[in-house]
Structure 1
Amino acid sequence: MNAARLWAVARLELLQRVRTVSWYVLLGIFAVLLVGVTALSFLSFGGMVSAGDQRGAGIYSTIVVVTLLLVVLVSPTLSGNSLNGDRDAATLAPVQVTLARTSEILLGKVLAAWITGLAFAAVAAPFLVIATFAGGVDPVVVLISLAVLGVEIGIIAAIGVGLSGILARPLFSVASTYLVVSALVFGTLIAFGLGGTALSSQATTTYRGMQYNTDGSPQCRDGSSDCWNDPERMVCGEPEQSTYTVPRFDRVWWVLAANPFVILADATPAEYDSQGYPVDLFGQITTGVRGSQLAPDLDSGYDDCAAVQPGPGPTPEEIRDATVPSWFVGLGVQLLIAAALLSGAWSRTRTPARALPPGTRIA
């Protein structure tokens, strides 16, 4: 592996992209969308977060998540035809007859696609700086979230390059890249919802209510009507039971581990207010994902005549502390997918080629 040859391939790929006007149009549209997102975030989190000095955390997390969303939508188009597009344009064969190895060509294409995706993240940098001025942004959150964002952009780029080397037609490889990315983003959510519903359980709830007089006052054992909050004097009816179906998301929560947005939120330390509730989008996503790990209570109840009533449930911060992270598992799954696709692309791109699809252009 020669770094100079690898960078030469990446630089050639980048120069081809920079020369096109569409590249700058995409960056401009990206910036305009972030302007709108930033403005709406200031309005939204200004009213949602009770502590004004913490609203910057919510604005910052929203911009990072939206940046990942936009990169997910754009990156497959930029990387999904890297190899087969050059093959159709008869520009791949001249590179293959140079000293550049197949692995260097592949990784050079991945590096170029990665840098292209990072350019979109660079457009978001000014808006992230604006969010930090709003207050409440932890430097550790900034470092980890940007690092995970960069890794996710690189993985998506590798998936696109891998499919462009395996599939012969550029249009088909771009569509396949979108399908793989959609499977990670939307397919995991669909599998999570359908799986939790399919594996549902029957739950039973018991309720015993107090008896009331015709005037709305409680019935008391001593005949009075002032036994509010005094269970020993209340007259209560017979317990009533009812059954219902409860989805078991605790059995399929691991499906979400490979979702890019779950990885970003789960790996980033969440920030909470004084009551243990998240003040940023990372914490809100993590609360939903981590909360799905907890098994539902299949035998619940409420008794108006009980001396001690059940207390409130755990806060989102307590749920996060009591559950296990899954971001590293999902990141490993994504890396395995990208590595497998790049391995297949290497076997289809190496020279001399043993077999090529019918109609494939060589030079």
Structure 2
Amino acid sequence: MNGARLWTIARLELTQRVRTVAWYVLLGIFALLLIGVTLLSFLAFGGWGTGGAGVFSAVVYVTLLLVLLVSPTLSGNSINGDRDAATLAPLQVTLATTGEILLGKFLAACITGLAFAAVAVPFLVIATLAGGVNGWAVVTSLVVLVVEVGIVAAIGVAISGILARPLFSVAVTYLIVAALSVGSVIGFGLVSTAAGSEFTSKNRSAEYNSNGEIVCKDGGHDCYGDTDQMVCGEWDSYTYRVPRPDRVWWLLSSNPFVILADATPTSFDRHGNPDDLFGWIKTAVRGAQSAPELQSTWDECDPQYLDGAEYRSGPTPEEIIATTVPSWFVGLGVQVLLAALLLWWAWTRTRTPARTLPPGTRIA
């Protein structure tokens, strides 16, 4: 592996990207989008001095979203685009190895994706200066963001080396990214519903007359609260199916947005609520690990109901996160393994001398 050849390949790839006006227009549109997101986030999270953490998380999420939307287009035709333009074969007969070609184009795709993160830096600084931002949350979220940029870039470059047609490789890259980010959520919802359980609800109310007055055993109407005198109705029972997210919560572990939220340390207010989007998404995903109750009872004639002891609020987000297990490292490992396998496949398809080529492949 030669560093000079590696950087030459990456530099040539970058030159082709940045010399077009459309590239700078895209970065400008992203900057305008971040201005709007930052202003709206300050309004949503309480303004200067209190909403810095929320604004920071919103900007990071928008940056990740745009990288997922744009990176497949920029990296999904890196290799087969050169093959289609008859510039790959001259590169393959140089001293550059197949691994250097792949890694050089991967490096260029990473730098291209990180350009969007660079545009977001001023807005991240503003959010940090606004106060309330956890230092470890800043470091962790940015590291995860950079890793996700690299994974998406690797998938795009690999698919461009596996498939012969640039259009198909870009489409397949989008499908893989969509499967990780959107498909995982849809699959989670469908499978958790299909794997549901029966929920039984039992209810009993006190008897009331036509005037809305409670019926008492002694014939009076002032016995509410006296369970010995209240006349109770019959028990009603209802059964229906409820989803079981606790059985399939792991389907969300490879979602890029979930990985970002689950890996980022969370800060809480005095009520145990997160102060940023990372924490709220983490709470929702971690809460899916807990099995739902499959039976509920409501009895108006029960003293526990009358004094309110039967009913209590659920756990706070802080308690949910503290009593569940993180899954970000599993999801990140799955993504890295997927990208590595695809790159290996691309290497076998791109190495020279090639025994066979897809029909219609242009080589010169």
Establish whether TM, by shorter chain, passes 0.5. yes
Q: What is the aligned residue count?
A: 359
Deviation at 1:217, TM superposition (A): 4.8
Deviation at 1:220, TM superposition (A): 5.3
Deviation at 1:208, TM superposition (A): 2.3
Q: Which residue of 2 aligns with 1:23?
A: 23
Deviation at 1:60, TM superposition (A): 1.0
Match of 2:61 among 32, 50, 65: 65
Superposed CA offset, 1:140-191 (max 9, x none)? 1000000000000100000000000011111111111111111111111111
Question: Aligned Cα RMSD in Å?
Answer: 1.9
Q: Which residue of 1 aligns with 2:2?
A: 2
Equivalent positions of 1:330-341 (< 5 A) are 330-341=331-342
Q: Which residue of 1 aligns with 2:360?
A: 359
In structure 2, C-alpha distance between the alignment counterparts of 1:266 and 1:352, rounded to whole Å: 45
In structure 1, C-alpha distance between the alignment counterparts of 2:78 and 2:289, rounded to whole Å: 40
- Per the alignment, in what secondary structure is the counterpart of residue 34 of structure 1? helix
Match of 1:168 among 164, 170, 176: 164
* TM-score, normalised with respect to structure 1: 0.93
Deviation at 1:225, TM superposition (A): 5.4
Relative to structure 1, the CA distance from residue 248 to residue 84 in structure 2 (aligned partners, 3 Å threshold; closer, same or farther) is same
In structure 1, C-alpha distance between the alignment counterparts of 2:61 and 2:206, rounded to whole Å: 49
Shifted more, 83-92 versus 233-242: the winner is: 233-242
Relative to structure 1, the CA distance from residue 232 to residue 118 in structure 2 (aligned partners, 3 Å threshold; closer, same or farther) is farther
In structure 1, C-alpha distance between the alignment counterparts of 2:353 and 2:175, rounded to whole Å: 31
In structure 2, C-alpha distance between the alignment counterparts of 1:56 and 1:234, rounded to whole Å: 55
In structure 1, C-alpha distance between the alignment counterparts of 2:282 and 2:66, rounded to whole Å: 21
In structure 2, C-alpha distance between the alignment counterparts of 1:355 and 1:46, rounded to whole Å: 62
Match of 2:106 among 106, 110, 134: 110
In structure 1, C-alpha distance between the alignment counterparts of 2:225 and 2:333, rounded to whole Å: 55
Shifted more, 334-343 versus 234-243: the winner is: 234-243
Deviation at 1:347, TM superposition (A): 0.7
Equivalent positions of 1:211-222 (< 5 A) are 211-212=207-208, 214-219=210-215
Q: Which residue of 1 aligns with 2:92?
A: 96
Relative to structure 1, the CA distance from residue 227 to residue 314 in structure 2 (aligned partners, 3 Å threshold; closer, same or farther) is farther
Equivalent positions of 1:88-237 (< 5 A) are 88-212=84-208, 214-219=210-215, 234-237=230-233
Equivalent positions of 1:24-43 (< 5 A) are 24-43=24-43
Equivalent positions of 1:240-279 (< 5 A) are 240-279=236-275
Equivalent AA in structure 1 for residue 7 of structure 2? W
2:292 counterpart of 1:291:
no
Deviation at 1:302, TM superposition (A): 2.1
Equivalent positions of 1:342-357 (< 5 A) are 342-357=343-358
In structure 1, C-alpha distance between the alignment counterparts of 2:274 and 2:222, rounded to whole Å: 41
For structure 2, the 5+ residue unaligned runs are none
Equivalent AA in structure 1 for residue 11 of structure 2? R
Deviation at 1:213, TM superposition (A): 5.0
Superposed CA offset, 1:98-154 (max 9, x none)? 221111110111111001100101101111111123221111100000000000010
* TM-score, normalised with respect to structure 2: 0.93
In structure 2, C-alpha distance between the alignment counterparts of 1:351 and 1:148, rounded to whole Å: 35
Deviation at 1:310, TM superposition (A): 2.7
- Per the alignment, in what secondary structure is the counterpart of residue 51 of structure 2? helix
- Per the alignment, in what secondary structure is the counterpart of residue 243 of structure 1? strand
Superposed CA offset, 1:313-347 (max 9, x none)? 11111111111111111111111111111111101
C-alpha contact (below 8 Å) 1:53/1:135 kept by paired residues = yes
In structure 2, C-alpha distance between the alignment counterparts of 1:28 and 1:187, rounded to whole Å: 30
For structure 1, the 5+ residue unaligned runs are none
- Per the alignment, in what secondary structure is the counterpart of residue 46 of structure 2? helix
Relative to structure 1, the CA distance from residue 229 to residue 316 in structure 2 (aligned partners, 3 Å threshold; closer, same or farther) is farther
Shifted more, 78-87 versus 3-12: the winner is: 3-12
In structure 2, C-alpha distance between the alignment counterparts of 1:231 and 1:30, rounded to whole Å: 65
Superposed CA offset, 1:39-90 (max 9, x none)? 111122228xxxx744211111111111111110000000000001111122
Shifted more, 6-15 versus 336-345: the winner is: 6-15
Match of 1:75 among 71, 90, 110: 71
In structure 2, C-alpha distance between the alignment counterparts of 1:339 and 1:212, rounded to whole Å: 69
In structure 1, C-alpha distance between the alignment counterparts of 2:121 and 2:146, rounded to whole Å: 13
In structure 2, C-alpha distance between the alignment counterparts of 1:231 and 1:351, rounded to whole Å: 87
Deviation at 1:239, TM superposition (A): 2.7
- Per the alignment, in what secondary structure is the counterpart of residue 258 of structure 1? coil
Relative to structure 1, the CA distance from residue 320 to residue 220 in structure 2 (aligned partners, 3 Å threshold; closer, same or farther) is farther
In structure 1, C-alpha distance between the alignment counterparts of 2:318 and 2:213, rounded to whole Å: 40
In structure 1, C-alpha distance between the alignment counterparts of 2:270 and 2:190, rounded to whole Å: 36
In structure 2, C-alpha distance between the alignment counterparts of 1:222 and 1:278, rounded to whole Å: 53
